[in-house]
Each structure stands twice: as structure tokens, then as C-alpha cells.
């Protein structure tokens, strides 16, 4: 089978160039590498001949760490993956563990989780737009985006007390119910936000320089994107209709109406347009969730850290009780966690975030693998950037929307 | 006696310009701050008014690091070349009628020569730092200055034709009887080309490629620190002011204004310079950055032909009606 990925590419030698190359190591400390990405470049003038992304500077060993902690405890690790959209990771993790356990969150919790996941998509896309624009040189958009992100972070703070690492969802539901005030404030934000999107678009969307820097740059075809394993807006920008929310709905995504924006060109501009449209769609999803928000409990009665108080079958073993109520191991005769493995994907702002668990029947995962979109997107950078200019590489890094915390784990 | 007086004037001009440079940074940070829904400097002095002084003191006391592998003499000289060239072009600027240090007949050419010389500082800085980012910054600067110097020079030929002189004082005087006493309207194309070239010449957004922060870290000045970095900074701001002054002299009628201000005849001139500075800052807050090859395209394929058209048009009008 022939692979559609560009393996080698004839790099046109710039006119007047003697073909002499030199190497440039960009990062891990560089203003535009969004954290600690290192890119090893081979350059001919300013043209990139070879581009090798290097990751691992932010490796914290989450997957190994997870093996010695219970599923409930591992939730806080997911906050630190994609710290820009921690709430979406929380949701993804909980959905995965629930699938492993075979339980389902109550309807109200599922709606709330959909709301917070979409809010975190807004947060993430706002931060992406801010830094992407800053990379290309438009400074003001950066602060405008932060202005709106601030409102969302305040809302998160009201909801769960944290602004960055939320750990708000729990296996089988969410931790606290939404307040009336939160709903009102969120509604006010939803009314305000579309006009703000328009504001960003007037600043950059019709700007000739912006168009010149993005249209036709960093182009990637649909087949190539699939072969590279791209997901999220990077894949949809190339015209491939794939969105986990739509194709394998979880939480309340099956119950609300929304569209998956698609691009055709697969260039930086298409990815940009996709994400901008997603902002509109997220607003739409949150609005529907708020309107439909049903009453009821916010956490399932089968939730593992609730089994103890509600169902008298469980006994606390003295040697495990030091972990507090969160990690009560059950009577050995009743297995809460089944044997076997499960892979569950959710759509986080960056793409498809998958959790793969191998469970041996204890409350700790035997193995937890995280399929992080950023890691896979960074790998694509080497293919996309080859043959383009340094300035385009910067635009491409921004456009792939990578977070190193998620990539390096 | 005359020389002594001249020296006093030089010192006065130097101090006044330096003060303006210091406060131009404050002006920029404040304006950009407010455009970006934040406050800008607020801590040092009332509304941050002492911020430039604090910055100056800070950079003065900072360690002056010279990289081991740098070409030491060139590395040390580069910022000085920039600053001296920029300061030298101040000498020919007519701030008001008779307020000029050197009223020479090739004033405009002199300013061009000096601003080209200043780009040597940038190129040498990039070269001498022995760092790849600096090197790329220096290369970009060289290509940029060469291309935009041409379009800028050509855009001013129309003005020279109309005024019939290269002496800056005479150019201003020649504008006295045109509409609003400016060449802005008859030389609209020239002004358009000049304005864009001016942005490129001073390495300002959207042409700040030599120091493109997100690409080249800080471009040619990556390896510089302390006072030497500050000198580059000063040179950039003086460069902005000189270019703004040239724009004012050639297109906005220099010191002419709607009414005369007897106690400070340079008021209109300074006001117009600050108008230009405000435009510089406004553009910086609004536009993204061009790519290297697009910048070249714009310069050679759009601006230079436009400037040539302008010359032909001006010459024809001058021959037919002048």
C-alpha cells in the first residue's frame, strides 16, 4: 500500500543559492514554540530543507504515575495534560472510566459536562487565536481574546473554585451543581460573545497581510491528514468530516443540534476558519444545553467513590482507608472494576483525546495510555513545514494548535 | 564664537531629542496599552510618567554582555554606528524657519545617506554576534533596506521636482502656496509610497522582520544587552522621528500651520511628527507581520512602479503647466 504522506520532497533551491545548508535549533526556549517544543531545522537561506520536531522537555511520566494511583485519583493528572482546556480533559477522562465501569452519569450531569467541555473549547480556541495571531504579528488580537477568556475563567472559578486545574467532573457525574448565578452569567456571556467573534474577525479576517500569511501556506491534503493521524480542526480543515462529538456522541452531544465546520483547502487559513466556526457552534451547543438543562441528581449512584456510603455491600479495608473516601476499595467479592481493556475517545479542542485503559480488576489501572492529539500533530509539523520558510513554520506551529503539556505528558 | 554657539545648539538639540525619544517609548506603551484594553505603565510616577527614566537607569546599570565568539570590535561598534548615523541626520532638519543646524543644499540626500549608514549598524550587529538568529535578522535588514531605500528615494523625487530643491528648508518654503501649504494632495501617490517605505525603513510593523520576535527571537539585537541594546532602541526611535520629520517636511508642509505660533514656531512641526508617531504606533497595534518574500514582492512589484509612475506624472504636469 502506498502511503500518501510526502516522504521526500524536492526542495526548490532558491535562486542564487549555492545549496549550502546550515542547521538552526529552534527552541526549547523560543518565543513562538508555545512552551518547550524544540525544532531542529536544516535551512537553505530561510527555506526549510528538513524539519525535525523534538518533544519530551515537559515529560512528567503521567502514564506510569497513573498505574500507582486509583482511577479517581488519576483525574487530577488530566488537568495537567492540556492545561488550556483542562475541563475537556476531565470530561474525556471521566467518560472513559465510566465506559470501563459500565456506568452512566445522570442526565443533568451529562448536560453540565457538555456545557463545561464546550466552555473549555471556547477557552482553548480563544487562547489559540490569541497566540496564533501573535505569532503572525498581530498583537492586539492577543489581548482581546484574553479579555473574553477571562470571563470564562471567572465562570469556571465560580463553578468549582479553580481557574486552571479544575478536576470538576468526577467519575459518574460532576462535583457540584451549577448555581443560578452561574447560569445567568453564562447566558450573558453567550449573548455577548458572537459580537466579540465578529470583532476578532474584523481585525484579522479581512486583513490582506493575514490572508497573505495564511492562505495556501502549510497545506495538507485530506488523505495526508488522515495518514498522519491528525484530528480536530487540523483534519477538518482539510475537508475530512470527522468529529467524535458527532460520530460517537458522548454526554449530551447526541441530544443537541450542531454542525461540524469543514474546510476544503487544508491550509492555515482553512484551519483558522474551522476554529472560528467552531466558536459559533460551541456557543450554540452551550445555549441548547442551558435551555434543556434537566433537573435531577448530578452524580450517579454507582460512582465508585460513592458506592461506599450509598450501598452497604462495601467494606473499608483498614490498610486502604488512609486514602480517604475517594479510594475506598470494595469487598473483594464484589468487583467494581472489571477485567479487560477499553479505549474511549472524546473530542477536546485540540482534536481526539483518547484514553486506553487496561484494567486488572483493581481500582488502579494496569496501564493507562493517553492518545494526545498534540503529540500526533507535532509529528506532522516535519511534513508540513518542509520546503516552506521559517516564518511559515511559526505560523504552522500556531495553526496546529499544540500544547506541550499534553504532548509530553 | 560661532562654533561655540553651534556646539551649544547641538547639545540643546541632542538633549531635547533624547528626552523625546525617552517619552516616545512611554507614548507608544501607553497608546498601545489603551488600544489593547489595558493600562500600560502605571507604577513609576503618576500614571507611569517616570517609566522611561527608570528604564534608562535600568539599562544603564545592566551588565554589558559580549558573547565569547562574537567579533568583539564590530560587536561593540555596531550600536554606535546606528545611533551616530541617526543623530547626524537630525542636523539638517528644519524645525522652523531658520531653526536648522546645517542648512545644506543636499539635505534630503544627506538624510538618505545617513539612514542607509544606520542599516550598516544593524547588518554588522547581526554579523558580529555570531548567532544564527542575529545573522538572519541582519540579512533580512540588508535586503529590506536596499529594496525600500529605492522606493523611498523615488517617492520623494516628485517632491524634489515640485520644489526644485533638495534643501529641506526650501522644500518647506516651496509648499507655502500650495493647498493647505502641503504637498500631500498633489503628491498623494508619492506620499503613499513614502509612508509604506518609511515603515519598512524604520523596521516597524508590519515590516519588523529584522527583529521579528516570534521568528528570530529578537533578530539582530538578540545577543545585545544593557546599554548597547538600549542604544539600538534609541536609534530606532530617532530613526522613526527622522523619517516622520522627512514626511512632515516633504508632504505635510513642515512648520506651516493654520495659524502662526509666535512663542514656539516649531509647534506645528513637532505636532506633525507626533501625528506620524501615532500612526506608527496605531499600525503596530493593528497589523500582522509580512513574510520576507512578500515584503520583497511588495517593494519591487508595487511600490517602485508606483513611485516611477508618480515621477512621470509629476514631471509631465510640471512641464505642461508649471
ipTM above threshold 0.90: no
The residues, any chain, with a CB within 8 Å of residue A95's CB and separated by 6 or more, are A250, A251, A344, A346
Which pLDDT belongs to residue B97? 77
Instruction: Mark which residues 259-288 of A lie under 8 Å from B by CB.
Output: none
- Put simply, the answer to whether B290 touches A213 (Cβ < 8 Å) is yes
Mutate to test the interface with B, among A139, A142, A150, A390 (most CBs of B within 10 A): A139
Residues 6+ apart with CB under 8 A from A105: A94, A98, A113, A172, A173, A174, A251, A299, A300
End-to-end CA distance of chain A: 33
- Least confident range of A12-16, A223-227, B130-134: A12-16
| Continuous segment of H or E residues that includes residue A368 | strand A365-371
Which tens digits make up the pLDDT trace of B127-137?
888 888 888 88
By CA distance, what is B283's nearest residue in A? Answer: A138
* Residue extents of the structural domains in chain A: 62-300+341-408
3-state DSSP call for residue A99?
helix
| Closest in B212, B217, B288 to A133, CB measured | B288
Which of B36, B214, B216 is closest, CB to CB, to A143? B36
Quick one: average pLDDT of B215-243?
Answer: 84
Q: Cβ of B206 and A209 within 8 Å?
A: yes
A113 touches chain B (CB under 8 A): no
A394 close to B (CB below 8 A): yes
**Is the pLDDT confidence value at A282 over 80?**
yes
Gap from B93 CA to chain A (nearest CA, Å): 33
Instruction: Determine, for residues A31 and B37 on separate chains, whether the beta-carbon distance falls below 8 Å.
Output: no
Residue A345 pairs in a beta bridge with A354
Which chain B positions have a beta carbon within 8 Å of A392's beta carbon? 291
Are A390 and B132 within 8 A, CB to CB?
no
Residue of B206, B287, B292 with shortest CB distance to A391: B292
Confidence (pLDDT) at A305: 63
Q: Evaluate if residue A27 carries a pLDDT over 70.
A: yes
Strand partners for A39:
A26, A53
The answer, yes or no, to whether residue A334 has pLDDT greater than 70, is no
Q: Which residues contact A21 (CB under 8 A, 6 or more apart)?
A: A42, A43, A44, A49
- Tens of pLDDT along A304-314? 665 544 344 44
End-to-end CA distance of chain B: 44
Tell me which H or E stretch contains A370. strand A365-371
The mean pLDDT value of chain A amounts to 82
Q: Is A6 on the interface with B (CB under 8 A)?
A: no
pLDDT band at A286 (very low <50, low <70, confident <90, very high): very high
pLDDT of B60 strictly over 80: yes
CB pair distance less than 8 Å for A139 and B284: yes
**Nearest-CA residue of chain B relative to A390?**
B215
Per residue in A186-204, pLDDT (tens digit) is 999 999 999 989 888 888 8
pLDDT at B94: 86
A120 Cα to chain B: minimum distance (Å): 23
Residue of B206, B213, B288 to mutate for A, most A C-beta atoms under 10 A:
B288
Mutate to test the interface with A, among B291, B293, B296, B297 (most CBs of A within 10 A): B291
- Residue B46, burial from CB neighbour count under 10 angstroms (0-12, 13-18, 19+): exposed
Chain B residues near residue A24 by CB distance under 8 angstroms: 132-133
pLDDT digits (tens, 9 = 90+) for A101-125: 888 888 888 899 999 999 999 999 9
A83-92, A200-209, B48-57, B175-184, range with the lowest pLDDT? B175-184
The answer on pLDDT for A330 being more than 70 is no
Interface of B with A (CB under 8 A): 32, 35-38, 132-133, 136, 205-206, 208, 212-217, 284-294
Is A143–B290 a contact, with Cβ atoms under 8 angstroms apart? no
Q: Do B289 and A389 touch (CB under 8 A)?
A: no
A-chain CB neighbours of B136 within 8 Å are 46, 390
Q: Could you tell me what percent of chain B has a pLDDT over 70?
A: 98
Which whole-number Å values give the CA distances from B8 to A265, B93, B101, B102, B211, in the listed order? 65, 17, 11, 14, 36
Lowest mean pLDDT segment, chosen from A120-134, A175-189, B197-211: B197-211
Q: Chain B residue closest to A29 (CA)?
A: B217
Report whether A126 contacts A148 (CB < 8 A): yes
Q: Please judge whether B214 and A31 are an interchain contact, meaning their C-beta atoms are less than 8 angstroms apart.
A: yes
Nearest CA in chain A to B212: A137
User: Are the C-beta atoms of A98 and A171 separated by less than 8 Å?
Assistant: yes
pLDDT digits (tens, 9 = 90+) for A360-393: 877 788 889 999 898 998 888 888 888 888 888 8
Q: Which residues of A touch B294 (CB under 8 A)?
A: 209, 212-213
Give me the pLDDT at residue A168, please: 87
Q: What is the pLDDT of residues B244-264, one digit of tens each?
A: 998 888 888 878 877 777 778
Chain centre to alpha carbon of residue A109: 20
What percent of chain A has a predicted confidence (pLDDT) above 70? 87
Best residue of A209, A218, A398, A399 to probe chain B, by most B CBs closer than 10 Å = A209
pLDDT band at A7 (very low <50, low <70, confident <90, very high): low
A130 touches chain B (CB under 8 A): no
Does A142 score more than 60 pLDDT?
A: yes
Q: Which residues of B touch A268 (CB under 8 A)?
A: none
Q: Chain A partners of B286 at a C-beta cutoff of 8 Å?
A: 138, 140, 203
Of A30, A147, A207, the CB nearest to B287: A207
> Which CATH number does the domain A62-300+341-408 belong to among 3.40.190.10, 1.10.645.10, 3.30.479.10, 3.90.1150.10?
1.10.645.10
Mean pLDDT of B151-170: 86
Amino acid at each position: 500500500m502506498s502511503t500518501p504522506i510526502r516522504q521526500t520532497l524536492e526542495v526548490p533551491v532558491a535562486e542564487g543559492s549555492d545549496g549550502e545548508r546550515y542547521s538552526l535549533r529552534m527552541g526549547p526556549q523560543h518565543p513562538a514554540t508555545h512552551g518547550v517544543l524544540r525544532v531542529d531545522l536544516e535551512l537553505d537561506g530561510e527555506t526549510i530543507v528538513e524539519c525535525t520536531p523534538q518533544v519530551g522537555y515537559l515529560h512528567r511520566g503521567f502514564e506510569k504515575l497513573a498505574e500507582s494511583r486509583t482511577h479517581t485519583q488519576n483525574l487530577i493528572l488530566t488537568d495537567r495534560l492540556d492545561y488550556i482546556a483542562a475541563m475537556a480533559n476531565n470530561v474525556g477522562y471521566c467518560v472513559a472510566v465510566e465506559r470501563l465501569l459500565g456506568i452512566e452519569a445522570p442526565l443533568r450531569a451529562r448536560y453540565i459536562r457538555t456545557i463545561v467541555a464546550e466552555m473549555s473549547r471556547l477557552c482553548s480556541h480563544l487562547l489559540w487565536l490569541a497566540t496564533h495571531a501573535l505569532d503572525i504579528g498581530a498583537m492586539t488580537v492577543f489581548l482581546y481574546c484574553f479579555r473574553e477568556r477571562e470571563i470564562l475563567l471567572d465562570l469556571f472559578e465560580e463553578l468549582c473554585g479553580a481557574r486552571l486545574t479544575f478536576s470538576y467532573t468526577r467519575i459518574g457525574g460532576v462535583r457540584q451543581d451549577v448555581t443560578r448565578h452561574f447560569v445567568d452569567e453564562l447566558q450573558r456571556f453567550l449573548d455577548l460573545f458572537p459580537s466579540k467573534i465578529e470583532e476578532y474577525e474584523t481585525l484579522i479576517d479581512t486583513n490582506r497581510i493575514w490572508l497573505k500569511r495564511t492562505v495556501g501556506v502549510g497545506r495538507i491534503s485530506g488523505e495526508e491528514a488522515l495518514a498522519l493521524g491528525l484530528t480536530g480542526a487540523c483534519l477538518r480543515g482539510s475537508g475530512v468530516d470527522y468529529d467524535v462529538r458527532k460520530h460517537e456522541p458522548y454526554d449530551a452531544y447526541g441530544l443537541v443540534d450542531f454542525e461540524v465546520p469543514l474546510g476544503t483547502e487544508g491550509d492555515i487559513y482553512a484551519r483558522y476558519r474551522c476554529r472560528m466556526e467552531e466558536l459559533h457552534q460551541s456557543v450554540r451547543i452551550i445555549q441548547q444545553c442551558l435551555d434543556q438543562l434537566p433537573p435531577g441528581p448530578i452524580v450517579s449512584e454507582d460512582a465508585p467513590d460513592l458506592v461506599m456510603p450509598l450501598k452497604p455491600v462495601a467494606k473499608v479495608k483498614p490498610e486502604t482507608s488512609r486514602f480517604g473516601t475517594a479510594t475506598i476499595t470494595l469487598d473483594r467479592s464484589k468487583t467494581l472494576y472489571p477485567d479487560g481493556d477499553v479505549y474511549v475517545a472524546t473530542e477536546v479542542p485540540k482534536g481526539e483525546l483518547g484514553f486506553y485503559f487496561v484494567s486488572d480488576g483493581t481500582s488502579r489501572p494496569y496501564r493507562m495510555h493517553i492518545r494526545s492529539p498534540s503529540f500526533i500533530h507535532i509529528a506532522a509539523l516535519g511534513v508540513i513545514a518542509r520546503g516552506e520558510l521559517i516564518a511559515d513554520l511559526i505560523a504552522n506551529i500556531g495553526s496546529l494548535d499544540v500544547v506541550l503539556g499534553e504532548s509530553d505528558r | 564664537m560661532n562654533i561655540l554657539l553651534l556646539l551649544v545648539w547641538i547639545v540643546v538639540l541632542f538633549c531635547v531629542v533624547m528626552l523625546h525619544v525617552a517619552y516616545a517609548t512611554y507614548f507608544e506603551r501607553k497608546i498601545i496599552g489603551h488600544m489593547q484594553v489595558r493600562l500600560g505603565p502605571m507604577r513609576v510616577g503618576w500614571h507611569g510618567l517616570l517609566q522611561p527614566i527608570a528604564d534608562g537607569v535600568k539599562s544603564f546599570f545592566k551588565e554589558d554582555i559580549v558573547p565569547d565568539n562574537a567579533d568583539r570590535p564590530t560587536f561593540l561598534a555596531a550600536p554606535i554606528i546606528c545611533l551616530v548615523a541617526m543623530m547626524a541626520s537630525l542636523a539638517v532638519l528644519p524645525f522652523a524657519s531658520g531653526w536648522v543646524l546645517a542648512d545644506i543644499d543636499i539635505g534630503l540626500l544627506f538624510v538618505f545617506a545617513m539612514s542607509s549608514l544606520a542599516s550598516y549598524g544593524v547588518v554588522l550587529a547581526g554579523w558580529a554576534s555570531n548567532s544564527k538568529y542575529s545573522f538572519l535578522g541582519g540579512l533580512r535588514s540588508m535586503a529590506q533596506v536596499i529594496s525600500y531605500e529605492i522606493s523611498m528615494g523615488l517617492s520623494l523625487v516628485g517632491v524634489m521636482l515640485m520644489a526644485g530643491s533638495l534643501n529641506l528648508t526650501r522644500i518647506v518654503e516651496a509648499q507655502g502656496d500650495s493647498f493647505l501649504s502641503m504637498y500631500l494632495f498633489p503628491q498623494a501617490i508619492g506620499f503613499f509610497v513614502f509612508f509604506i517605505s518609511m515603515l519598512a525603513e524604520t523596521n516597524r510593523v508590519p515590516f519588523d522582520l529584522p527583529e521579528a520576535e516570534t521568528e528570530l527571537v529578537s533578530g539582530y539585537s538578540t545577543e545585545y544587552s544593557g546599554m548597547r541594546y538600549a542604544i539600538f532602541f534609541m536609534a530606532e526611535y530617532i530613526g522613526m522621528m527622522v523619517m516622520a520629520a522627512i514626511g512632515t517636511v516633504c508632504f505635510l508642509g513642515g512648520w506651516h500651520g493654520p495659524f502662526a505660533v509666535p512663542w514656539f514656531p516649531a509647534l506645528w512641526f513637532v505636532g506633525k511628527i507626533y501625528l506620524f508617531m501615532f500612526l506608527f504606533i496605531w499600525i503596530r497595534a493593528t497589523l500582522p507581520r509580512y513574510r520576507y518574500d512578500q515584503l520583497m514582492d511588495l517593494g519591487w512589484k508595487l511600490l517602485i512602479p508606483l513611485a516611477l509612475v508618480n515621477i512621470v506624472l509629476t514631471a509631465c504636469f510640471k512641464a505642461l503647466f508649471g
